[in-house]
Amino acid sequence: MNKIIEPEVNVEIESGKLTGSKVITVSKKLSDLANIFRNEDTRREMNQDQVIYRVQAYMPVDEGTEAGLFFGTTIIYPGKVGDEYFMTKGHFHAQSDRAEYYWGIEGEGMLVLMDRERNAWVEKMYKGSLHYIHAGVAHRTVNIGEEKLIFGACWSSDAGHNYDEIIKNGFSARLVELDGEPILVSE
């Protein structure tokens, strides 16, 4: 049977915005980010309803499906908890041999990467930057600019998220502002 159909999701190329009934949106407020920032006391004193980042995702197959792909756009708003820039929780993949692509769409950011031995390194994110996140490497994105940081992602539908290790041990590198400039500090 030959037929021409409309795609069920559209992506606005300039902004990464996804539209369509199959798109899900998840907002992470400061209240969802306990024990993520270096200064937990400062985080607790801030407005807990403030949205730090939003993820839009298109998940055409069930989570856990072998060899499928998910697609997402994340917006991290500008700001800091104390001197530490707003960022995602960050995660290892639950299935440790699964990789992921990130790419910069708008704004200025840093992608913090950390291997199993806790060696950390950072890649600059900007409009057009492309990042291959190797299997077994934890990843977190940080907005170091004064505007929104928007990035795209594509990952395996059976990768899963392992947040526990990050909540427990954190990343071995963090981005903080010193004299108006982002600097990388080790924990």
6 or 62: CB nearest ligand M6P:
62
From the list 8-16, 37-45, 100-108, 171-179, the region that binds Zn ion by CB under 5 A is: 100-108
Restricting to residues 21-60, name those near ligand M6P by CB under 6 A.
Answer: 55
What sign does the dihedral 50-149-62-134 (CA atoms) show? negative
Candidates 58, 88, 92, 106; binder of ligand M6P (CB under 6 A) is 88
Does 91 bind ligand M6P (CB under 6 A)? Our answer is: yes
Report in angstroms the alpha-carbon separations of 180 from 40, 80, 121, 151, 160.
Answer: 22, 12, 21, 23, 36
Does 118 bind ligand M6P (CB under 6 A)? Our answer is: no
Nearest CA-CA partner of 70 in 57, 56, 52: 57
Does 112 bind ligand M6P (CB under 6 A)? Our answer is: no
Restricting to residues 140-169, name those near ligand M6P by CB under 6 A.
Answer: 153, 155, 161
Q: Binds 74, which of ligand M6P, Zn ion, none (CB < 5 to 8 A, cut-off by type)?
A: ligand M6P
Report in angstroms the alpha-carbon separations of 151 from 145, 154, 185.
Answer: 13, 10, 23
Tokens of 75: 């917006």
Tokens of 34: 């306990």
The distance of closest approach from Cβ of residue 102 to ligand M6P in the complex, given in angstroms and rounded to an integer, is 7
Does 100 bind Zn ion (CB under 5 A)? Our answer is: yes
Question: 90 has which bridge partners?
Answer: none
From the list 39-47, 61-69, 86-94, 178-186, the region that binds ligand M6P by CB under 6 A is: 86-94
- CB-count burial class (<10 Å; 0-12, 13-18, 19+) for 2: exposed
Q: Which residues bind Zn ion (CB under 5 A)?
A: 100
Q: Which residues bind ligand M6P (CB under 6 A)?
A: 55, 72, 74, 88-91, 100, 153, 155, 161
